[in-house]
Chain A
Amino acid sequence: DAGVIQSPRHEVTEMGQEVTLRCKPISGHDYLFWYRQTMMRGLELLIYFNNNVPIDDSGMPEDRFSAKMPNASFSTLKIQPSEPRDSAVYFCASSAGRSYEQYFGPGTRLTVT
């Protein structure tokens, strides 16, 4: 099993640019989560999907952030326009129904200059 796959692993961009982070969950998992981790705020849940449908996006910071899950094997998190305060590590995680364990991807380290 390849686990949760995220790309890119590192992203450096300039303020104002669009950033797209990608995630492939573990096959068969029906929940997908996007998290952001910073030193100041720790790990924050941004949004999660169940069967490709967004269930709770209350953690999305503002309208600059959007997430999609067009099918069971792919999700994107987009930031447009990006700002320096968006610099963080972004994790994608997936879980299989009510099993409750979430399996995390390796994360994407985003730096906005």
Chain B
Amino acid sequence: AQTVTQSQPEMSVQEAETVTLSCTYDTSESDYYLFWYKQPPSRQMILVIRQEAYKQQNATENRFSVNFQKAAKSFSLKISDSQLGDAAMYFCVTNNAGNMLTFGGGTRLMVKP
């Protein structure tokens, strides 16, 4: 069974500053993907970034980047130059070979103007 743990229920960041959201996971799969999804108040679930486990290079998507530590089973999300629109619930997610996703409990990010 897979588990995903987000130890920070809430985080806050000043606009234009940088924030890092933590995530650890456990999986028995040898080939898997990791994702960060964002859910703003509109409740739409939006894919932010994805990482293939077999790739050592950390994924980057504009202001969003990850720190993927495979041995430690850690997958943190860094948001640079935070914007008010980044305020949302962020979910760390992993999948299994059957294409089923396992979601963490989420981290609510608040952005202060």
Contact = CB atoms under 8 A, between A and B. Distances in A.
Given A100-B33, A100-B95, A101-B35, A45 B47 contact: no
Interface in B55-77: none
Interface in A45-70: 45, 48, 50, 55-56
Given A48-B100, A56-B100, A103 B91 contact: no
B99 to A, nearest CB: 6
Nearest to B105: A42
Given A42-B105, A42-B106, A43-B91, A98 B99 contact: yes
A48 B99 contact: yes
Contacts of A55: 98
Interface centre among A50, A93, A100, A106 (most CB of B within 10 A): A100
B7 to A, nearest CB: 15
Contacts, number: 44
B101 A102 contact: yes
B45 interface: yes
Interface in A1-49: 31, 33, 42-43, 45, 48
Interface residues of A, number: 22
B44 interface: yes
A49 to B, nearest CB: 11
B103 A42 contact: yes
A90 to B, nearest CB: 11
B8 to A, nearest CB: 15
B100 A91 contact: no
A95 B103 contact: no
Nearest to B97: A98
Contact of B99 (A43, A95, A104): A95
A100 B50 contact: yes
Interface of B: 33, 35, 37, 42-47, 50, 91, 95, 98-101, 103, 105-106
